A and B are shown apart, each in its own frame.
Chain A
Amino acid sequence: MEGKSAVPEIHIKSYFTYVYVWIALLLLLAATIYVARMNFTSFSVLINLLIATVKAGLVLAFFMHMRYEGRFLKGMLLLTLVALTCIIALTFSDVWYR
């Protein structure tokens, strides 16, 4: 590239897209508190972690623009998460079968 470098395009052009994501996040926050207070089953732990993962996914995809990134960065994120999962699995297998 010569001279002036081109400014990358803006993927999310409307402020409202962020506002909608924020509303979704607050609804999920309400849902997670509701699930915890209701205390129906031992599944509520799992449900709460799932809700947290959906919230984290929304923040990653929209606020952090991961949805619009290329394969390289998405792959690096996946690699990090896979590495973390492996470390968790190995640590647990060590603790359980010691």
Chain B
Amino acid sequence: MQVVEEKRDYTKAKYGMWFFLFTEMLFFGGMFILYSIYRSKYPHDFHLGASQENLLYGSINTAVLLTSSLALAVAVLAVRKGRYRFSIFLQAATVLMGGIFLVIKYLEWSEKISRGIYPNSPVLLRMDVGEIIFFGLYYVMTGIHGLHVFIGMIVISFMVYFTATGDITSENYSKMENTGLYWHFVDIVWIYLFPLFYLIT
């Protein structure tokens, strides 16, 4: 039998993930530029739009996402300390919190859609240009963010599996660490989306 020697480069694995995250920052950055340009052009309409957002849903979702980040940060440390069961529990909790975030987002969107506010709806098209842009950006930005949360949940579910099968260990944790970086990045995007859509009225 041939013994295969495995060599790991922890640093390069991490750098690769970070470089991907830098491109993600520029990707979301483009949408933030659109938001700020149109906000400076239609401050009154953006004010009206933001005052129609549900602050309670937004605040709960922020708290949920911040807590999920805590759970995953501790889960990564637990893997490094060799406490796999504890880590699996926390990873599962993170997926659950991601799910709660999306359910709340679903309630929020359906409430808006039931009021007739959705892209190209007759109600929306009767509003001023600035408000149409505000809600357009709202759907695009929270939608793409939500897609990131959904992808994160799938990736973390795989990490739960890998930790359970012993594929992820305290000496082979790069997958886990990079998943954590991705999830925290998604959290940071929400940290900016929250004041821009729910608070700045």
Q: Which residues of A contact B201 (CB under 8 A)?
A: 36, 39
The answer to whether A22 and B66 have CB atoms under 8 Å apart is yes
Residue B200 contacts which of A21, A45, A56, A59 (CB distance < 8 angstroms)?
A45
The answer to whether B33 and A91 have CB atoms under 8 Å apart is yes
Q: Which residues of A contact B188 (CB under 8 A)?
A: 56, 59-60
Residue interface bits A39-58, CB-to-B below 8 A is 1, else 0: 10000110011011001100
A-B pair count, CB < 8 Å, reads: 112
- Chain B: residues with Cβ within 8 Å of the partner, total of 48
**Which B residue sits closest to A54, measured CB to CB?**
B191
Q: Which residues of B contact A92 (CB under 8 A)?
A: 36-37, 40
Query: Chain A interface: which of B22-30, B104-112, B132-140?
Result: B22-30
The answer to whether A36 and B19 have CB atoms under 8 Å apart is no
Chain B residues numbered 1-39 whose CB sits less than 8 Å from any CB in chain A: 5, 7-11, 14-15, 18-19, 22, 25-26, 29, 33, 36-37
The answer to whether A19 and B70 have CB atoms under 8 Å apart is yes
A38 to chain B, nearest CB (A): 11
Q: Which residues of B contact A26 (CB under 8 A)?
A: 63, 66
Query: Chain A interface: which of B115-123, B144-152, B160-168, B179-187?
Result: B179-187
A83 to B26, CA, bound (A): 9
Q: A7-B171, A15-B74, A48-B200 in contact; A59/B69 too (CB < 8 A)?
A: yes
A76 to B59, CA, bound (A): 32
A1 to chain B, nearest CB (A): 8
Q: A7-B10, A26-B63, A49-B195 in contact; A87/B73 too (CB < 8 A)?
A: no
Q: Which residues of A contact B26 (CB under 8 A)?
A: 80, 83-84, 87
**B142 interface residue per 8 A CB criterion:** no
**B102 interface residue per 8 A CB criterion:** no
The answer to whether A77 and B22 have CB atoms under 8 Å apart is yes
Residue B10 contacts which of A3, A8, A21 (CB distance < 8 angstroms)?
A8
The answer to whether A15 and B195 have CB atoms under 8 Å apart is no
The answer to whether A64 and B184 have CB atoms under 8 Å apart is yes
The 15 sampled A-B contact pairs (Cβ below 8 Å) are: A5-B7, A5-B8, A10-B81, A22-B66, A29-B62, A39-B201, A48-B195, A48-B199, A63-B69, A63-B184, A64-B180, A64-B181, A80-B22, A87-B26, A92-B36
